[in-house]
Amino acid sequence: QVQLQESGPGLVKPSQTLSLTCTVSGGSISSGGYYWSWIRQHPGKGLEWIGYIYYSGSTYYNPSLKSRVTISVDTSKNQFSLKLSSVTAADTAVYYCARAPESQLAFSWGQGTLVTVSS
Amino acid sequence: QSVLTQPPSVSGAPGQRVTISCTGSSSNIGAGYDVHWYQQLPGTAPKLLIYGNSNRPSGVPDRFSGSKSGTSASLAITGLQAEDEADYYCQSYDSSLSALFGGGTKLTVL
């Protein structure tokens, strides 16, 4: 069974870049067939899709975040990463990594990690 | 403002049946894209409940069912149990492969 685990700083200063990594175990990113995604949830709010990456490197981003987001993949480490630049308090959220079969785009989720933007 | 519209809350007594609607548009659900449903228990990550409009992953009780018609989809829960109290989200996508979520519905078991 594939498991996903988010890691990264829990506190980021305003204007800096938020960086998170998702480590995949129990399956290989490079085997293909899945989109590897980042999704966030503001405190007490709903879910917001940030973007996803295919193992080949093709990326798809939420248009509202596209100018600040970069998602990349490191198949040698079986990891994919999120960078969100110029963060503000509005970027404080629980960040989830997830994967979705390319045939369905239905997500299976990591446990999530809280990132707080504060000085 | 979510692209997919869900009622903010629904409630029902144990044993009853409740439904949660998810309304989209001709650009997403109405264009034929699948709808998926997630259950989020308090303090936990969302869990896939229904995929491909009406399919249940292994381990999901058959009390949960999904349907889709036109620009809308619905999640039905029969034989309501206390453990079903959670937030429920629908999800679809559009032609640019952007994933779209509903705003979520809080289910209260009375």
pLDDT at A47: 97
Output the pLDDT for position B1. 80
Taking only the tens place, the pLDDT of each residue in B34-84 is 999 999 999 999 999 999 999 999 999 999 999 999 999 999 999 999 999
- The answer, yes or no, to whether residue B19 has pLDDT greater than 90, is yes
Instruction: Confirm if B56 and B50 have CB atoms less than 8 A apart.
Output: yes
Q: Does A37 touch chain B (CB under 8 A)?
A: yes
- Yes or no: say if A22 and A16 are a contact pair by the CB < 8 Å rule: no
Nearest neighbour of B98 by CB, restricted to A49, A96, A108: A49
Name the minimum distance, in Å, from the CA of A17 to any CA of chain B: 23
CB contact (8 A) between residue A46 and residue B102: yes
Q: Do A112 and B91 touch (CB under 8 A)?
A: no
Cβ-count burial of B8 within 10 angstroms (0-12 exposed, 13-18 middle, 19+ buried)?
exposed
Distance CA B42, CA B22 (A): 21
Which chain A residues are Cβ-neighbours of B36 within 8 angstroms?
Answer: 104-107
Per-residue pLDDT of chain A (119 residues; tens, 9 = 90+): 899 999 999 999 999 999 999 999 999 999 889 999 999 999 999 999 999 999 888 999 999 999 999 999 999 999 999 999 999 999 999 999 999 999 888 999 999 999 999 99
Smallest CA–CA distance, residue B30 to chain A, in Å, is 16
Do B1 and B104 meet the contact criterion of CB atoms below 8 Å apart? no
Whether A116 and A9 have beta carbons less than 8 Å apart is answered as: no
Pick from A47, A60, A100: CB nearest B46 = A47
Q: How far is A1 from chain B (nearest CA, A)?
A: 13
Backbone angles phi, psi at A26, to 5 degrees: 85, 5
Instruction: Name the H helices within chain A.
Output: none
Residue B47 contacts A, CB cutoff 8 Å: yes
Residue B104: list chain A partners with CB under 8 A: 46-47
